[in-house]
Amino acid sequence: GAGVSQSPSNKVTEKGKDVELRCDPISGHTALYWYRQSLGQGLEFLIYFQGNSAPDKSGLPSDRFSAERTGGSVSTLTIQRTQQEDSAVYLCASSPGEGDFYGYTFGSGTRLTVV
Amino acid sequence: SQQGEEDPQALSIQEGENATMNCSYKTSINNLQWYRQNSGRGLVHLILIRSNEREKHSGRLRVTLDTSKKSSSLLITASRAADTASYFCASRGSGYSTLTFGKGTMLLVSP
């Protein structure tokens, strides 16, 4: 597609349930990033995929969070046993690759509300 | 942490005026970028300045970078109501592969 697509755009879930958030990056972009943004805050890095390399998971806040990227394209972020503090907008971005020339293209995000 | 800080946190101006936002960061960088966010959703990339550059222009945007002070500024000239948004700086630290974002400046441009 022309842009980064995220689904769902909104998700309300009960505390303790698992959720899956999907990101479809721009075709041909080898780098994919997940960030989250709490109300009125900056972006918090979660995880980074680059090509076939092992992902950089250093930003995942707990072992309840995991992500995968299949076939170097679509990525799924999974949050198990959701907690109220997981409520945030989850943003996915992609870029043509690593380097000093590329900005990120962001999707519109998934707003997750844990009740 | 590499996290940058934007200043001011909020800025309110009239259409036609210039808006200046500042950003500071903590470690050496490869590049620094500015993004705009409307309505708390996806961010839009505005401009990228590399560590060996001091100034860059794009339309009504002017970005400066002072690596000795670890700071950058974004100037929007002749602002419009449509410029109302949050603006974030993001730095790519030397040896890092990802961007670290600040908390942003909320800009309100009144007609």
Q: Does A104 touch chain B (CB under 8 A)?
A: yes
The helix (H) or strand (E) run that includes residue A13 is strand A10-13
Rounded alpha-carbon distances, angstroms, from residue A5 to A29, B28, B50, B70: 13, 33, 28, 34
Mean pLDDT, residues A82-96? 96
Q: What percent of chain B has pLDDT over 90?
A: 77
Q: CATH number of the domain at A5-10+21-97, out of 3.60.15.10, 2.60.40.10, 2.40.50.140, 3.60.9.10?
A: 2.60.40.10
Q: Does A103 touch chain B (CB under 8 A)?
A: yes
CATH of the domain at B106: 2.60.40.10
Domain count, chain B: 1
Instruction: Report how far residue B87's alpha carbon sits from residue B103's, in angstroms, rounded to the nearest whole number.
Output: 9
Model pLDDT, residue B39? 80
Give me chain B's average pLDDT, please.
92
Which residues of chain A are within 8 Å of residue B39 when distances are taken between CB atoms? none
Mean pLDDT, residues A40-67? 92
Q: Does A73 touch chain B (CB under 8 A)?
A: no
* Residues on chain B bordering chain A, Cβ-to-Cβ distance under 8 angstroms: 3, 30-31, 33, 35, 40-45, 48, 50, 88, 90, 92, 97-104
Rounded alpha-carbon distances, angstroms, from residue B98 to A25, A39, A49, A71: 16, 22, 10, 21
Domain holding B22, by residue range, is 5-110
